[in-house]
Structure 1
Amino acid sequence: MKPGIHPEYRDVCFVDLSNGSKFVIPSTAQTRETIKMEDGRELPLMKLDTSSESHPFYTGTQKSVDALGGRVDKFRQKFARAAAAAGAKK
């Protein structure tokens, strides 16, 4: 690698703001804040709105569109009647 052109690759602490979970992984993410870890290390801090710990898809709390009160069926029934009524008028 050419010296001086690559970003610094170091451990970064990522914090999920929705539930407070933390995980440390190597990253080149640029941060302005730091956090003091339980083991005494001071690491760069990257705040996240959501992570796999809080995202509905990964936690199993995601709702299907078909399970939301039969919206698709209601739509089809509504426009099936409208199409039948339009065909009867001809």
Structure 2
Amino acid sequence: MKEDKHPSYGPVVFRDRSAGYAFLTRSTAGSDETIEWDDGQTYPVIDVEISAESHPFYTGKARVVDAEGQVAKFEKRYGEGGQQA
């Protein structure tokens, strides 16, 4: 097997600053910035813009489409039966 073919794989902290959430996992991604974790060890930290803690789909703050308003607009334009007046 060839040496130095694969990137290094080690512990990394991913931090979502908008949600104040961070988690420790293993990754091939690296960073020059470090953070001290709860266990007293220092790990590379990567800041992400969005995570499961801040994503609208996972937090339940997703935008709801106003389907009833669209139906009312359609009926106003075309009438109850959908025939153009």
Q: TM-score, normalised by structure 1?
A: 0.74
Q: Deviations over 1:3-58 (max 9, x none)?
A: 21111100000001111111011000132211111221110101011100111101
Distance in 1 between the 2:55 and 2:6 partners? 32
Counterpart position of 1:72 = 70
Unpaired segments of 5 or more residues in structure 2? none
Unpaired segments of 5 or more residues in structure 1? 86-90
Structure ranking higher in helix proportion: 1
Aligned residues: 82
- Runs of 4+ in structure 1 displaced over 6 angstroms? none
Counterpart position of 2:26 = 26
Contact 2:13 2:45 in 1 (8 A): yes
Counterpart position of 1:16 = 16
Contact 2:17 2:49 in 1 (8 A): yes
Q: TM-score, normalised by structure 2?
A: 0.78
Q: Alignment RMSD, CA only?
A: 2.1
Summarize the Cα distance change of 1:71–1:29 in structure 2 as closer, same or farther, 3 Å threshold: farther
SS in 2 for 1:61: coil
Identity %: 41
